[in-house]
Amino acid sequence: MDKFEFMRKELDELKEKGTYNTIRVLESAQGPWVVINGRKMLNLCANNYLGLITNEEVKSAAIEGVKNFGVGAGAVRTIAGTLTLHEELEKKLAEFKHAEAVILLQSGILANIATIPLVVGEGDLIFSDELNHASIIDGCRLSKATIIRYKHLDMADLKEKLEDYKDYNVRKLIVTDGVFSMDGDIAPLPDIVELGEKYGAITMVDDAHGEGVLGDHGRGIVDYFHLEGKIDIDVGTLSKAFGVIGGYVAGNNTLIEYMKQRARPFLFSTPLSPADTSALIKVVEILSKDDSLVKKLWENGNYIKEQFKSYGFNIGHSQTPITPVIIGEEKTAMEFSKMLFEEGVFAQGIVYPTVPKGTARIRVMVSAAHTKDDLDFGIKKFVEIGRKLGVVK
């Protein structure tokens, strides 16, 4: 008897339906151009918004971290795994975010999973945007609180739901992505803060795609809306614009002190390596003193959007450099992505269930490391293929 027959069956089904995920392997660093199957490709897929993955200063800092501290932390933070590097990074991040305190975790997903079950539990209520990231959803499920989904960005709907439960004398949490990664739209945080205050709910934002992108020097969505100290919990990742790996939570001293006593991924899992941590200290230093990379990212994002629009592509309503090129039909979008790949452009096709039916798209992710020539090459290929497939005239 094959005990894994049930998995084999589902895998076969995925392949039949054409939704089986073939994982691309990069044979080079994650730069504006990458090598795949021995071929140089324009990379329009990565979350490496600022090009920091291959930044020379950041690479040197990682090597310094290894020279001084070796390659691993050797224990969980609460036993013997807290290095001066970890504390320095937490302090620097708190300064950068204008927050009282920061706790470092091993990834963005773990930051959500660590936090939500400490804030709410069984019998409590979570008000969650229907398009929130999977890691928020997992954190919510682990908490055992009741999850109430409100319509995407719809503050009237959120208000109605808060009103429905206003007499429940339990803890309440409103949680949202800051920037939604499939459309590039932004959560209306000022309204969320106002509703949180009115209904006595804790407010939490996951700023994975706003970090290094939004606000002054890329300080993120809280800075962008001038809500320092008003959003209760600000979760971030260090693996997207920051270019390395890791996650963190910025908040008030009580929350962070409590998390250092109780958050399970903090207590029961070894922290970031010296190389990662040292690299990240350098990233925060670079962003704190220089906003040219953030400016360049927006310049590139605005340029590619204008160009796509001028050729008649539907690019949705992104408020960030994330640029969805909406094709509509799933099959056409997959074909589009495949043809781009054949022409040397690596851009991800995204279909149902990741996005609603009929809105299949190619998601274009530019970075500060792309030159105008790089972008022009990509645009030219989009237009050629778009015309061939009848997506644009």
Residues with catalytic function: 181, 209, 240
Alpha carbons 118 and 135: distance in angstroms, whole number: 15
Binding flag, residue 177, ligand PLP (CB under 6 A): yes
Residue nearest to ligand PLP (CB): 108
* Residues pairing with 202 in the sheet: 173
E-assigned strand segments in the chain? 33-36, 39-43, 101-105, 125-129, 146-150, 172-177, 202-206, 233-237, 247-251, 323-328, 345-346, 348-350, 360-364
Which of the ranges 84-92, 202-210, 217-225, 290-298 carries the binding residues for ligand PLP, by CB under 6 A? Answer: 202-210
Which of the ranges 55-63, 104-112, 300-308, 357-365 carries the binding residues for ligand PLP, by CB under 6 A? Answer: 104-112
CB of 90 to ligand PLP, least distance (A): 16
Judged by CB under 6 A, the residue of 77, 86, 97, 133 near ligand PLP is 133
Binding flag, residue 135, ligand PLP (CB under 6 A): yes
Q: What is the DSSP letter of 54?
A: G
Binding flag, residue 211, ligand PLP (CB under 6 A): no
* Residues pairing with 35 in the sheet: 40
What is the dihedral angle through the alpha carbons of 380, 386, 391, 393, rounded to the nearest 10 degrees?
A: 60
Binding flag, residue 234, ligand PLP (CB under 6 A): no
Binding flag, residue 48, ligand PLP (CB under 6 A): no
Binding flag, residue 108, ligand PLP (CB under 6 A): yes
Alpha carbons 96 and 248: distance in angstroms, whole number: 13
Binding flag, residue 176, ligand PLP (CB under 6 A): no
Alpha carbons 110 and 247: distance in angstroms, whole number: 7
Binding flag, residue 208, ligand PLP (CB under 6 A): yes
Binding flag, residue 276, ligand PLP (CB under 6 A): no
Q: What is the DSSP letter of 214?
A: S
Judged by CB under 6 A, the residue of 209, 217, 219, 361 near ligand PLP is 209
Which of the ranges 4-12, 105-113, 212-220, 377-385 carries the binding residues for ligand PLP, by CB under 6 A? Answer: 105-113
Q: Are 234 and 220 in contact (CB under 8 A)?
A: yes
Q: Which is nearer to ligand PLP, 271 or 386 (CB)?
A: 271
User: Tokens 């027959």 — which residue?
Assistant: 5
Q: Would you tell me which residues interact with ligand PLP (CB under 6 A)?
A: 107-109, 133, 135, 177, 181, 206, 208-209, 237, 239, 247
